[in-house]
């Protein structure tokens, strides 16, 4: 299969919810290659854009632009309108009045309180709040997807590291062997999801990257799905969490095997753990 076809096949499997490890096994390629494609070609970004587009297409009635409130029978002066708009930004009536009218602090403190009591000021402030709410248009699904990205982000989505072999030459220019050279490089900014990076800085030892708190994101998702067991993201969450748990258990057993004989009951324990998680996910979906 050509490399281009292989990438597209991997992308199609990822869109269907297949894990990166399963994709690698099915296509007989390394998991690091699949992770590299996922980061380089922004599979998550494409999926998110498609999801947003579908939500927009499924919207039966597009939101209507808000009209100025009918309570504004008495028109606002330019300063009154400006006062409202500054107040909506800093939520400090005294400071807003000072910036617009340029009076003394004591005068602004008294007059601004009286200003907020005026019906036309109240009406215009409510209108501005409604405009802000529509501009944000934040839905619960947006928050869930945000936390999903943080909880299941992988450092290999941001950096590439490993080793390469380079030839060793003698004085006559003949190859006498090879040498392993370690490498580490960051992906370009436009190739990564910067929303899950909390901090990046230059240190004496090189560049340090700190991701958003994965533990806190997992905790939030766990609480959310307890209250919303039928959410369509629940099955993917359980699957990803199971993969993390299995990797952790396998790592623990690998360390243990270096010291003593591996317990024959480990494989059965993994199967029981997986069955419990999947059964729970199926019950919630159903």
Question: In terms of residues, how long is the chain?
Answer: 286
CB 153 within 8 A of CB 20: no
Name the more confident of 269 and 22: 22
What is the average pLDDT value for the chain, to the nearest integer? 75
| pLDDT tens digits along 247-263 | 777 777 776 666 555 45
Q: How far apart are CA 27 and CA 51, in angstroms?
A: 26
CA proximity to 39, closest of 10, 18, 6, 1: 10
Q: How far apart are CA 104 and CA 275, in angstroms?
A: 71
pLDDT at residue 270 greater than cutoff 80: no
Q: Quick one: tokens of 7? A: 């990438």
Q: Quick one: tokens of 283? A: 């019950």
CB 243 within 8 A of CB 273: no
Question: Which segment of 94-103, 131-140, 230-239, 271-280 scores lowest on mean pLDDT?
Answer: 271-280
Q: How far apart are CA 108 and CA 93, in angstroms?
A: 8
pLDDT at residue 266 greater than cutoff 60: no
Question: Which segment of 6-20, 108-122, 133-147, 211-225 scores lowest on mean pLDDT?
Answer: 133-147
Name the more confident of 45 and 40: 40
pLDDT attached to residue 83: 92
- Reported confidence tier of residue 73, pLDDT bands at 50, 70, 90: low
**pTM for the full predicted model:** 0.36
Q: How far apart are CA 33 and CA 96, in angstroms?
A: 55
CB atoms within 10 A of CB 144: 20
CA proximity to 238, closest of 272, 275, 212, 193: 275
Which of 16-30, 42-56, 120-134 reaches the highest mean pLDDT?
Answer: 120-134
Name the more confident of 207 and 238: 207
Which of 51-55, 116-120, 182-186, 208-212 reaches the highest mean pLDDT?
Answer: 116-120
Q: How far apart are CA 164 and CA 180, in angstroms?
A: 6
Name the more confident of 73 and 104: 104
**Secondary structure letter of residue 201 according to DSSP:** E
- Across the range 126-145, mean pLDDT stands at 77
- Reported confidence tier of residue 48, pLDDT bands at 50, 70, 90: very low
Radius of gyration of the chain (CA): 28
DSSP state letters, 156-189: GGTEEEEEEEEEEE-TTS-EEEEEEEEEEEEPPG
């Amino acid at each position: 299969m050509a490399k281009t076809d292989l990438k597209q096949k991997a992308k199609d499997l990822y869109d269907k919810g297949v894990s990166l490890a399963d994709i690698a096994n099915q296509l007989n390629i390394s998991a690091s290659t699949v992770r590299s494609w996922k980061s380089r070609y922004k599979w998550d970004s494409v999926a998110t854009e498609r999801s947003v587009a579908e939500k927009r297409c499924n919207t039966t009635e597009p939101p209507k632009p808000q009209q100025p409130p009918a309570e504004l029978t008495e028109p606002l002066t330019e300063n009154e309108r400006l006062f409202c708009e500054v107040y909506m930004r800093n939520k400090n009536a005294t400071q807003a009045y000072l910036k617009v009218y340029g009076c003394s602090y004591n005068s602004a403190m008294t007059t601004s309180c009286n200003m907020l009591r005026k019906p036309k000021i109240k009406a215009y402030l409510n209108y501005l709040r409604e405009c802000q709410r529509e501009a944000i248009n934040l839905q619960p699904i947006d928050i869930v997807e945000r936390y999903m990205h943080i909880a299941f982000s992988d450092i290999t989505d941001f950096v590439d590291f490993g080793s390469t072999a380079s030839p060793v030459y003698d004085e006559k220019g003949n190859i006498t062997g090879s040498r392993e050279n370690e490498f580490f490089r960051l992906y370009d900014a436009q190739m990564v999801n910067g929303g899950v990076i909390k901090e990046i800085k230059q240190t004496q030892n090189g560049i340090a990257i700190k991701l958003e708190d994965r533990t806190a994101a997992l905790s939030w998702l766990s609480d959310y799905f307890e209250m919303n067991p039928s959410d369509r993201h629940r099955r993917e969450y359980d699957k990803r969490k199971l993969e993390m748990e299995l990797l952790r258990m396998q790592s623990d057993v690998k360390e243990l095997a270096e010291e003593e004989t591996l317990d024959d009951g480990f494989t059965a324990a993994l199967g029981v753990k997986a069955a419990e998680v999947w059964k729970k996910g199926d019950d919630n979906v159903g």
